[in-house]
Amino acid sequence: MSNVLKDEYRVLTELKRTDEKVFRLKKELDQIPVEIADIEAEIQKSLDIYNGVKAQHDQIEKNLRKAESDLREKEDFLRKAESKMMEVKTNEEYQAALRENEGHKTAKGELEESVLNLISDIEKFKATLQQADSEHKVRSQKFNDAKKKLQEEGKSIQKSYEELLEKRKGVVASVSNEVRSLYEKVAAAVKGVPIVKAENGLCTGCHVKLRPQLFNEVLGLKSFHRCPSCGKILIAVIDETEQTT
Ligand SMILES: [Zn+2]
């Protein structure tokens, strides 16, 4: 067994470990925006709940403004109608005007009652609105805190990720040109960690059974092989107690 090849196997073992961390961190990193989007959806949901209550409140207020305006119109109408009554010439006309005004007076009374009811409704609803507002504030505070925490976590993972990529560059630089170009070729072609262990006659990447001759060559550290099924670089399990992580 060539020592140079054994060293290369060592480096590939380290590269495999580094890549496993790289892929793990990348997965965590990709998860952060997904989780943030979930939180933002929760914040929006909370705002929608509040807006629903606010819309009910605004509707009552709108009804009140309308009733107040109708009441003012009715009062104006009655004032004018009463001054017109001073001008009627006959008793018949006077009686007719009186009857007509009675109807308007009844309507005015109903409007007054409606204004009072709506004022009372809006007073009662004020507490509901305040409660909805404070509940929304508590919820969005909680969600925003969680979002901030995730963003910070993302920054920290990003930093570790970049450091790891730098470290990997150093590891890759320490293998021979031949092995490096093999690694780079495989890394570009496969999904996930490009280096896998060959163990018990199997590729641990895709679990396919390896030809005995191929497996023995990998075990004997004779040359580098790619799994015929998944295309990843096969490495033997070598004395790992000597490894530095
Ligand atoms: Zn395989």
Ligand 1 centre and the CA of 101: distance in Å?
A: 97
Same domain, 237 and 133: no
Instruction: Provide the residue type at 214 as one letter.
Output: L
Ligand 1 centre and the CA of 181: distance in Å?
A: 19
Q: What CATH number is associated with residue 120?
A: 1.10.287.1490
Q: What is residue 239's predicted lDDT score, i.e. its pLDDT?
A: 61
**Which positions ≥6 away from 49 have C-beta within 8 Å?**
132, 135, 136
Ligand 1 centre and the CA of 191: distance in Å?
A: 12
Residue where a domain terminates, one of 117, 146, 166: 166
Ligand 1 centre and the CA of 91: distance in Å?
A: 111
pLDDT band, residue 222 (cuts 50/70/90): confident
Q: What is residue 237's predicted lDDT score, i.e. its pLDDT?
A: 80
Q: How many domains does the chain have?
A: 2
pLDDT band, residue 244 (cuts 50/70/90): very low
Q: Write the DSSP string, 114-148.
A: HHHHHHHHHHHHHHHHHHHHHHHHHHHHHHHHHHH
Ligand 1 centre and the CA of 165: distance in Å?
A: 25
75-88 pLDDT, tens digit each: 999 999 988 888 88
Give domain status of residue 204, yes or no. Answer: yes
Ligand 1 centre and the CA of 183: distance in Å?
A: 15
Q: Write the DSSP string, 17-86.
A: HHHHHHHHHHHHHHHHHHHHHHHHHHHHHHHHHHHHHHHHHHHHHHHHHHHHHHHHHHHHHHHHHHHHHT
What does the CA dihedral 97, 100, 105, 107 come to, rounded to 10 degrees? -160
Structure tokens at 219: 């075990």
Q: What is residue 52's predicted lDDT score, i.e. its pLDDT?
A: 98
Give domain status of residue 16, yes or no. Answer: no
28-37 pLDDT, tens digit each: 999 999 999 9
Interior/surface letters 118-143, b for 16+ CB within 10 angstroms, e for the rest: beeeeeebeeebeebeeebeebbeeb
Angle between helices 177-189 and 3-85 (to 10 degrees): 30
Mean pLDDT of 25-29: 96
pLDDT band, residue 89 (cuts 50/70/90): confident
Ligand 1 centre and the CA of 4: distance in Å?
A: 25
Mean pLDDT of 40-67: 97
Mean pLDDT of 68-97: 91
Q: Residue holding tokens 């290369």?
A: 8
On whether the pTM is more than 0.85, the answer is no
Ligand 1 centre and the CA of 229: distance in Å?
A: 5
Structural domain including 235 reads 177-242
Average predicted confidence (pLDDT) for the chain: 92
Same domain, 107 and 143: yes
Ligand 1 centre and the CA of 202: distance in Å?
A: 8
Mean pLDDT of 89-118: 93
Structure tokens at 187: 């890394």
Ligand 1 centre and the CA of 225: distance in Å?
A: 11
117-176 pLDDT, tens digit each: 999 999 999 999 999 999 999 999 999 999 999 999 999 999 999 999 999 999 999 999
Query: What backbone phi and psi angles, to 5 degrees, belong to 236?
Result: -85, 160
Residue where a domain terminates, one of 166, 193, 214: 166
Residue where a domain terminates, one of 126, 145, 166: 166
pLDDT band, residue 100 (cuts 50/70/90): confident
Rg (CA), the chain: 41
pLDDT at 1 over 80: no
Q: What is residue 240's predicted lDDT score, i.e. its pLDDT?
A: 53
pLDDT band, residue 2 (cuts 50/70/90): low
Q: What is residue 107's predicted lDDT score, i.e. its pLDDT?
A: 95
Same domain, 123 and 188: no
